[in-house]
A and B are shown apart, each in its own frame.
Chain A
Amino acid sequence: MTGPDSILVSTCPGCHGRFLPRPGPCPRCGSTVVRPQPIPSVGEVLAATELTVPPAGWPEPHRLALVELSHGVRVLCLVAGDLPPIASRVRVVRDGERYLASLEPS
C-alpha cells in the first residue's frame, strides 16, 4: 500500500485532521472513526539535535529531527546519518514503531 515515496497516516473524516497512526480517537476532535491515507514521505526539517547523553541502551550518536510532512503532519524521527539542517528535506520511513529520517540528495 505504501512504497518508499509514501508514508501511511490517519485522516479524520470529521475534522479533516491528519496525524500519525496511533491507538485512540482523533487527537484534534475526538472522533473514533479515522481512515488510513498515504502521503508523500519527503518532508522538511523543523528542528534537529544530537543528544550527547542518550537514554540508557541507545547508541551514540543519537540524533532526533522533528519533520513536517504534507498536510501539516509532523513526525519525530530518529536521524540516520548526518544531522540535517533546519529547513532541509528528508525522507521518512517507518521502521516498526519508530520513524527514521535521512537527508534527501539536493
Chain B
Amino acid sequence: MPVRVVADAVGRFGRRGEGLLQLLAEAAELATEQTGRKTIDLLIVGHMSGGSLDESENVTAQLADRLGLEQASGFRVEAASATGAAAFHAAAHAVAGGGFDRALVVAGEKMTNRPTADVARALARSLAPQEQAVGATMPGLAALIAQRVAAADPAAPTAWAQVTVQARKGASENPSAQFREAITVAEVEASRPIALPLRLLHCSAVSDGAAAVVVERGTGPAEVLGMGEGFDSLMLSDRAELTTFRATRLAARRAYEMAHLTRKSLDFAELHDAFAPFAPIDLEDLGLCGPGEGAGWFLDGSTSREGRFPVNPSGGLLGRGHPVGASGLAQIAEVSRQLRGEAGSRSLPGPPRVGVAQSIGGLASHNFVTILGSGGPP
C-alpha cells in the first residue's frame, strides 16, 4: 500500500486544563509543523464520545476552522476505544484510493472534567443494551474475562502485574505519558480493588489528550503495510470463548493478508492494554504465541525493551493514560516514530523493520490491527 506516515505528534496525556478542541488543535499543529505545513486536503477526526463527555459537537468543522483547513474535506470517525485506529484506517484508505494527496488524522478525548462514575457510565454505553441493563462497566466485564484467564493459568495474575510494571518503565521515557514513575509488582498487587481480580494499577486511567499524524502517498519509512479490523458479538455472554478476542484475530488475519506478511515478520508491538490482562491476550490473538502463552512472555522478559519482542515501548495505555479516542492513534504514532528512528531515548535496538499496533474498541467488539514498515525489506 503506497501510503506512509510522514509526521506524528502525541500531546501530553493526563489531566489537562484545555478543552477537547484545544487538545486536538495542539496535536494537529505539532504534526503539520513537521511537514513544513504542506497542504492538507483531508482532515479525519477521531473522537469517541460525541458530546456525552465534553459537550463538543461538530468537532470536524470546528477543528477545520481552527486550523485554517476550510479548503480540505473532512469526516469524524468513531469506533469506541479504537477510534484513533479507525480514523487512521479511514485516512490511509482514502489516500491510497487516490482521492486525496495528504491527510491529517487527529484523535482525542477529554475525560477528566467528569466524575469517574459518569465516565464509567458513558464508556459503558459502548456495551450491549442487555449488559447496560445490569449496570455492567468496562472494568466489570474485563474482570470476568480475567477470572476465566486466571482459572486456566494460576501464573497469569503475576504476569498482569508485570505488564503494568513494564508499561510504567516505558512511560518513564515518554514525555507525553501520564504516569512516568516506576512502580513494583508489590505496589500493583497492593493497589485498591476495582473489580477483582482487577486492581487500580491493572487499569488504564481516565485521561485527556490527543494525537495526530500526517499520511501521504508514497513509500519509505513508516509505510502502511497492512490494515485490518473485525467485529465480535457485542454481548460477552454470546462469545464461545472468553479468553481470546475474535475481533483481534479477524483484524490480524486481514492485516497480514494485506501486508503479505506473517507474524514472523513483526519486530515489536503497541498493544491495547486498557486492562493489564488484555496484553497477553493481545499477543496470543496476533498469533505471536500460542493460546495461554502470552503471560509467560511478560514473565520471562521477552516483551521488555531489550527482549526478543518488545511490547509498548511508549508505555502503552497503562503508562500513557487512556483518552479513549486518542489511544489508537497514539499507538500508531509510536510505531511510526520507532520505524523512522525518531523515538529518542526509547528507540528500540535493532533497529526494527516492521511494527504492529493493535487496538480494542468497546469490550473487544470492534478491534483494529495496523502494520507499518521501515521502508526496507521486512
Chain A residues with CB under 8 Å of chain B are 19-20, 22, 27, 46-58, 62, 64, 66, 74-78, 86, 96-99
A47: contacting residue among B117, B120, B148, CB under 8 A:
B148
Residues of chain B with a CB closer than 8 A to A66's CB: 144, 236-237, 242
Would A54 and B194 be within 8 Å (CB), given that A46-B242, A77-B134 are in contact?
Answer: no
Interface majority SS on A: helix, strand, loop or mixed? strand
**By CB atoms of chain A within 10 A, which of B115, B145, B238, B242 has the most?**
B238
Residues of chain A with a CB closer than 8 A to B134's CB: 64, 76-78, 98-99
Give min CB distance, B68 to chain A, whole Å: 39
Q: Return 20 A-B CB contacts under 8 Å, by A number.
A: A19-B238, A47-B151, A48-B147, A49-B196, A50-B193, A50-B195, A51-B139, A51-B195, A52-B195, A53-B120, A56-B118, A56-B120, A57-B121, A62-B135, A64-B136, A64-B144, A76-B134, A76-B141, A76-B235, A98-B130
Residues of chain B with a CB closer than 8 A to A46's CB: 144, 147-148, 242
Give min CB distance, A100 to chain B, whole Å: 8
Q: Is B143 an interface residue (CB 8 A)?
A: yes
**By CB atoms of chain A within 10 A, which of B121, B143, B235, B237 has the most?**
B237
B135-156 interface with A by 8 A CB criterion: 135-137, 139-141, 143-145, 147-148, 151
Residues of chain A with a CB closer than 8 A to B130's CB: 20, 22, 76, 97-98
B120: contacting residue among A19, A54, A86, A98, CB under 8 A:
A54
Residues of chain A with a CB closer than 8 A to B236's CB: 66, 76
List 20 other contacts, CB 8 Å, given A49-B144, A76-B130, A99-B134.
Answer: A20-B130, A20-B237, A46-B144, A47-B147, A47-B242, A50-B193, A50-B195, A51-B139, A52-B194, A52-B195, A56-B117, A56-B120, A57-B121, A74-B238, A76-B134, A76-B235, A78-B135, A96-B133, A97-B133, A98-B130
Closest to A23 in B: B129
Residues of chain A with a CB closer than 8 A to B197's CB: 49
Q: Is B71 an interface residue (CB 8 A)?
A: no
Q: Count A-B pairs with CB separation below 8 Å.
A: 101
Cβ–Cβ contact B116 & A86, under 8 A: no
Give min CB distance, A20 to chain B, whole Å: 7
Chain B residues with CB under 8 Å of chain A are 115-118, 120-121, 124, 129-131, 133-137, 139-141, 143-145, 147-148, 151, 192-198, 233, 235-238, 242
Cβ–Cβ contact A54 & B117, under 8 A: yes
Give min CB distance, A57 to chain B, whole Å: 7
* Assembled-state Cα–Cα distance A46/B196 (Å): 14
Closest to A98 in B: B133
Closest to B233 in A: A27
Closest to B145 in A: A47
Closest to A55 in B: B121
**By CB atoms of chain B within 10 A, which of A19, A49, A54, A77 has the most?**
A49
Which 4 pairs of residues, A with B, have the shortest CB-CB distance? A55-B121, A47-B147, A74-B237, A47-B144
Closest to B123 in A: A55
Cβ–Cβ contact A76 & B136, under 8 A: yes
Residues of chain B with a CB closer than 8 A to A49's CB: 140, 143-144, 147, 195-198
* Assembled-state Cα–Cα distance A22/B192 (Å): 37
* Assembled-state Cα–Cα distance A76/B20 (Å): 35
Give min CB distance, A31 to chain B, whole Å: 15
Closest to B240 in A: A72
Give min CB distance, A29 to chain B, whole Å: 13
Give min CB distance, B82 to chain A, whole Å: 21
Cβ–Cβ contact B120 & A55, under 8 A: yes
Would A55 and B147 be within 8 Å (CB), given that A19-B238, A62-B135, A74-B237 are in contact?
Answer: no
